[in-house]
Amino acid sequence: MSFLTLQNISKRYGQFTAVEDFNLSVEKGEFVSFLGPSGCGKTTTLQMIAGFEEPTMGTIHIDGNDMTHVSPNARDIGIVFQSYALFPHMTVAENVAFGLEMRRINKPERHQRVMETLELVRLADFADRFPKALSGGQRQRVALARAIVIKPQLLLLDEPLSALDAKIRESMQIELRHIQNTVGVTTILVTHDQAEAMAMSDRIAVMNMGRMARLGEPFEIYENPGDSFTSNFLGSTNLFQGKVSSVNGNEVSVDCSGTEVRVQGTSETGAAVSVAIRPEKIGLVEPGLGFFDAQVRTRIFLGTSWAYQMDSDLGAFNVSLQNTGHRAAGEGEAVGISWQADAVGLLAEG
């Protein structure tokens, strides 16, 4: 049996349904991210796991025990809140020691574990400071230390990195993943940043409007998003709308505004579908040599890559090209568009 199981969880506020029929099983030591747009119910789900909200329906099991109606202080869960929620009147060391005190751990051991954990988050020199005198990144690490020092069965992180700037965030992501590996605690991370979810998780649960849209390993759901919401939410995707003109075994021909596009998949002739391709999987060739021609509308240099916006008979779309040190096609030029056969996906229209 899985370590954490959410079964048919729903949460209603009056008429409004914040979370609906949510199912998830998390293995021990696994790192799972909840990813979704603002208001999709990520925090609500996390609060139900933590015990601050009670589900309207469904059950929550942790390590085989029914925890659905157990109060938060009896769940043995470490939480890092979005606002960090440090105790402002306690020093860093006192903050971290609080959970151990509640567990009646004697002073010498308490001190030792606090210092070990502060060492782990590289804050040992700040033990006697008050939270007020810390930077955002340091506060975040105190919050993390406070949550992991109690060696919880489960660690919940609610957008812990959202207040940090891009550089610190990246290093904190690596650090957080490293700490999670070291401690080996089962972790759930809430985020609306897809890159963060990709970088850190064993599995990602993509949420949309209170429901789970897709669950899987980062690479798997990036490559096979399954629906256009997930596809668009995980990085950007170009969608060409069209109608299936013929089906030939495993290969479908789609008529996109007069251009024939071949895709692997199954469908029926006449069905309305979308052909999806990620910007980085499109290649530029000489005009006339590709599947169709397009014209460069704008070109932006991003350092590691070029970002193109293209115009074509199929509509506007984006291309992202690695910067290989050669001069790339300029604005206004005509180019041919090509891709590997397995780079395109077929999404049912809906």
Ligand X SMILES: Nc1ncnc2c1ncn2[C@@H]1O[C@H](COP(=O)(O)OP(=O)(O)OP(=O)(O)O)[C@@H](O)[C@H]1O
Q: Does 107 bind other proteins (CB under 8 A)?
A: no
Indicate which single residue of 4, 6, 9, 18 sits in contact with ligand X (rule: CB under 6 A).
18
Give me the residues paired with residue 2 across strands. Answer: none
Residue from 1, 15, 38, 167 that binds ligand X (CB under 6 A)? 38
Q: In angstroms, give the least distance from the CB of 91 to other proteins.
A: 9
Residue 147 CB, shortest distance to Mg ion, in Å, is: 17
* Residue 88 touches other proteins, criterion: CB under 8 A: yes
Beta strands 272-277; 345-348: pairing state: antiparallel
Contacts of 114 (CB under 8 A, 6+ apart): 93, 96, 97, 100, 127, 149
Contact status: 43 vs Mg ion (CB under 5 A): yes
Q: 257-286: which residues touch other proteins (CB under 8 A)?
A: none
The reply to whether 160 sits near ligand X by the rule CB under 6 A is no
Binding-site member from 9, 35, 40, 189 for ligand X (CB under 6 A):
40
Q: Give the nearer residue to other proteins in terms of CB position, either 156 or 207.
A: 156
Handedness of CA 117, 122, 128, 132 (dihedral sign): negative
Closest separation in Å from C-beta 303 to other proteins:
38
- Answer for which of 5, 22, 24, 41 binds ligand X (CB under 6 A) is 41
**Is 77 among the residues that bind other proteins (CB under 8 A)?**
yes
Residue with tokens 């020691």: 97
Tell me, residue by residue from 184 to 223, as one string, x for binding to ligand X by CB under 6 A and - for no binding. Answer: --------x-------------------------------
* Amino acid in position 198: M
In angstroms, rounded to a whole number, what is the distance separating the alpha carbons of residues 58 and 213? 18
Task: Give the separation between CA 15 and CA 36, rounded to whole angstroms.
Answer: 22
Taking the alpha carbons of 77, 79, 85, 91 in that order, is the dihedral positive or negative?
positive
Nearest to 86 by CA among 162, 144, 128: 144
- Under rule CB under 5 A, residue 187 binds Mg ion: no
- 72 lies in the site for other proteins, by CB under 8 A: yes
Residues 6+ apart with CB under 8 A from 78: 99, 146, 147, 148, 150, 152, 154, 155, 156, 185
Q: How far is the C-alpha of 76 from the C-alpha of 79, rounded, in Å? A: 10
| Between 212 and 282, CB nearer to ligand X | 212
Q: For the sheet containing 272-277, what is the strand order?
A: 259-264, 251-256, 238-248, 272-277, 345-348
Stretch that binds other proteins, among 13-21, 97-105, 177-185, 187-195 (CB under 8 A): 97-105
Binding-site ranges for ligand X (CB under 6 A): 13, 16, 18, 36, 38-44, 192
Binding-site ranges for other proteins (CB under 8 A): 50, 52, 71-79, 81-83, 85-89, 98-99, 102-103, 130, 132-133, 146, 150
